[in-house]
Amino acid sequence: MKKIVTIQDISCFGKCSLTAALPIISAMGIETAVIPTAVLSTHTGGFTGYTFRDLTGDIDAIASHWEKLGLRFNAIYTGYLGSKEQIGIVLDFFEKFRTDDNIIVVDPAMGDSGRLYAGFTEDFVEEMKKLCARADYIIPNITEASMMLGMPYSDIYSEDDIKDILRRLCAIGCEMPVLTGVRLDSCTQGAAAYDSEKDEFIFAFSENIDRTVHGTGDIFASVFTGAVTLGKSLRQALEISVSFTFDCIRETLPFMDEMWYGTCFEPCLGKLIEYVNADK
């Protein structure tokens, strides 16, 4: 049985980070270990007055215990990190748990729609680039990619612009960057990836639903990480992730008023299992 360790916050209410990654990766038939980077009463998108307990001091102790136990993981997957200091500690974790045949996936969860999430600064972006340099796959949205590349954010771009961004992301040091939230026309939305070893670009699209739903980046990254861990090709992983994210957004639409804080992914988990099994 495959085993992933995911390192990100737990937002006790609001569906994102660990409360999305755990059920999604487990549904894909993969054992999911977690290292919570912070405990928040809610996520920071749209809530005010949330609590935030930083768990930076716990990460190294957990890693040392696991080292003594001889634990090994098929993939290490990081998401929202609670502080700049955590990035150095997560880099140490990579050093300890990197093997010849496991993979590292970094979702540089820091912002959306041209803006950083509450509490993040420019120097966090610089640190995040160091983490991305050590990953096999990175999964930024266009906001996060623009920030890491020092490019102005724009929501108007061509296919060539996307290819240019992907090439530049490779120059940070990651071999297979994946860009989410790609919209080349008003009818479709999806993701693009670049396999730098094969010099191959891959695009996957679904119908565009023009609503912003919170937590879709975490859903996409969790499915993608699960899929590549299961040995799916880059194209298959991209297609499964785009299809499932679309299913979740469509499922959320009738409930937007009550579900403004998250995405209705739970009713779609059966379909995810079908996607995973379809091309076995």
Interface residue list for ligand PXL (CB under 6 A) = 9, 11, 16-17, 40, 43-45, 80, 109, 117, 215, 217-218
Compare residues 127 and 218 and give the one whose CB is closer to ligand PXL.
Answer: 218
Compare residues 53 and 65 and give the one whose CB is closer to ligand PXL.
Answer: 53
Strands 31-42 and 52-54: antiparallel
Q: CA–CA distance from 206 to each of 12, 211, 235 (Å)? A: 31, 14, 14
The answer to whether the CB of 165 falls within 8 A of the CB of 155 is: no
| Secondary structure of residue 182 in the 3-state scheme | strand
Q: How far is the CB of 8 from ligand PXL (least distance, A)?
A: 7
List b or e across 118-150, with b for residues whose CB sees 16 or more CB atoms inside 10 angstroms. eebeeebbebbbebbebbbbbbbbbbbbbbbbe
The answer to whether the CB of 196 falls within 8 A of the CB of 185 is: no
Q: How far is the CB of 83 from ligand PXL (least distance, A)?
A: 12
Q: How far is the CB of 241 from ligand PXL (least distance, A)?
A: 15
Q: How far is the CB of 18 from ligand PXL (least distance, A)?
A: 9
Compare residues 79 and 190 and give the one whose CB is closer to ligand PXL.
Answer: 79
Compare residues 218 and 239 and give the one whose CB is closer to ligand PXL.
Answer: 218
Compare residues 177 and 215 and give the one whose CB is closer to ligand PXL.
Answer: 215
Contacts of 23 (CB under 8 A, 6+ apart): 265, 266, 269
Q: What angle do CA 222, 76, 194 make, to 5 degrees?
A: 65
Q: How far is the CB of 11 from ligand PXL (least distance, A)?
A: 5
Compare residues 16 and 230 and give the one whose CB is closer to ligand PXL.
Answer: 16
Q: How far is the CB of 109 from ligand PXL (least distance, A)?
A: 5
CA 203 to centroid of chain Cα atoms: 17
